[in-house]
């Protein structure tokens, strides 16, 4: 059984930023898809623009989410990764590290 006694703060932060960017891209795609559906409903006449004020601005924001959400989620992931690694490194002194069980197949 192996123990993780310390995590590299900035390497973990980069990993969290990468995960945040992937999650942000997925959320941005879903958000843009929702904007596309509303735009299609307005185009077909099933919704009026009075129900969705500023539709053209909303559509712009929906497609801007494809770029903005990954950036915002990546920055948040980086900052949270720094905080998580620091908290782990300070608390591992009290709790004797994280125990992992590895199975080696040769």
SS3 per-residue string spanning the chain: CEEECCCCHHHHHHHHHHHHHHHHHHHHHHHHHHHHHHHHHHHHCCCCCCCCCCHHHHHHHHHHHHHHHHHHHHHHHHHHHHHHHHHHHHHHHHHCCEEECCCCCC
- For residue 52, what pLDDT is reported? 53
- For residue 82, what pLDDT is reported? 97
CA 31 from centroid of its chain's CA atoms = 13
Angle, CA of 59, 64 and 68, to the nearest 5°: 145
**How do the domains of the chain map onto residue ranges?**
8-93
- For residue 12, what pLDDT is reported? 95
**pLDDT tens-digit profile, the chain (106 residues):** 778 888 999 999 999 999 999 999 999 998 888 777 777 777 777 766 665 555 566 677 777 888 999 999 999 999 999 999 999 999 988 888 778 787 877 7
Mention every residue, 6+ apart, whose C-beta is less than 8 A from residue 55. Answer: 38, 39, 42, 49
């Amino acid at each position: 059984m192996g123990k993780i006694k310390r995590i590299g703060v900035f390497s973990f932060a980069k990993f969290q930023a990468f995960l945040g960017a992937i999650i942000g891209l997925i959320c941005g795609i879903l958000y843009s898809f929702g904007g596309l559906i509303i735009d299609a409903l307005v185009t077909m006449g099933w919704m009026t623009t009075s129900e969705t004020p500023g539709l053209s601005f909303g559509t712009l924001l929906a497609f801007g989410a494809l770029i903005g959400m990954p950036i915002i989620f990546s920055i948040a992931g980086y900052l949270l990764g720094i905080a998580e690694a620091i908290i782990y490194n300070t608390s591992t002194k009290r709790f004797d590290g994280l125990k992992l069980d590895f199975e080696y197949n040769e």
